[in-house]
Chain A
Amino acid sequence: KAGVTQTPRYLIKTRGQQVTLSCSPISGHRSVSWYQQTPGQGLQFLFEYFSETQRNKGNFPGRFSGRQFSNSRSEMNVSTLELGDSALYLCASSYVLASSYEQYFGPGTRLTVT
């Protein structure tokens, strides 16, 4: 079974631009969660989508948004990029809403904002 895939793997953007990251979950998984990983803040939860609905949200500004499609694929969008948005963005999928079920992570998208 194929794992979680994320595209692109690397991205360089300029401050003020916007960016869209994509995540394809493991086949049959309906929950997709997004995390931001930085050296200073560690791993922080962004949001979780299940059946095309946002079910949970972390403490990030409204510049960070996401959506999920009917095939469970998810996209994350960051508008008006700031230097501090440079991070590894990880997507994780699970069979149902992430609770007692483990999540399977993709390799991440490394975003650099200059």
Chain B
Amino acid sequence: AQSVAQPEDQVNVAEGNPLTVKCTYSVSGNPYLFWYVQYPNRGLQFLLKYITGDNLVKGSYGFEAEFNKSQTSFHLKKPSALVSDSALYFCAVMGDTDKLIFGTGTRLQVFP
């Protein structure tokens, strides 16, 4: 069965510092991995995806994620956090069931 784990309910970081939001997955077959962000009272916005190719994927708003097959991880990163990055972040995986399975979400709080 497919599953996604986001082990941290909340991540706190100071503005200007690097941030990491963790995600691990379990899936049959080759995974398609996604990161989405949700701002208050809004739907989800696509940030980036890994399908194949380079393990480091660059996405919107300066975010990037690294696919690590041996550790089955797909952590989201940004070199320098902004207060406006504060939001709820979801990791998602699609395997051979063609269903997009989301993690429980990680709330990112960036402090000025």
Residues of chain A whose beta carbon lies under 8 Å from any beta carbon of chain B: 4, 33, 35, 42-45, 48, 55-56, 58, 90, 92, 97-100, 102-108
Contact = CB atoms under 8 A, between A and B. Distances in A.
Specify the main secondary structure of chain A where it touches its partner: strand
Interface of B: 32, 34, 36, 41-46, 49, 51, 90, 94, 97-105
Contacts, number: 53
Contacts of A43: 44, 90, 102, 105
Nearest to B32: A100
Greatest chain A CB density within 10 A among B42, B98, B100, B105 is at B100
B99 A106 contact: no
Specify the main secondary structure of chain B where it touches its partner: strand
A46 to B, nearest CB: 10
A107 B44 CA distance: 8
Contacts of A99: 32, 94, 98
Given A42-B105, A43-B90, A100-B32, A107 B41 contact: yes
Contacts of A104: 46
Contacts of A106: 43
Given A42-B104, A108-B43, 15 more contacts: A4-B43, A33-B100, A42-B102, A42-B103, A43-B90, A43-B102, A43-B105, A56-B97, A98-B94, A99-B98, A100-B49, A102-B34, A102-B49, A105-B36, A107-B42
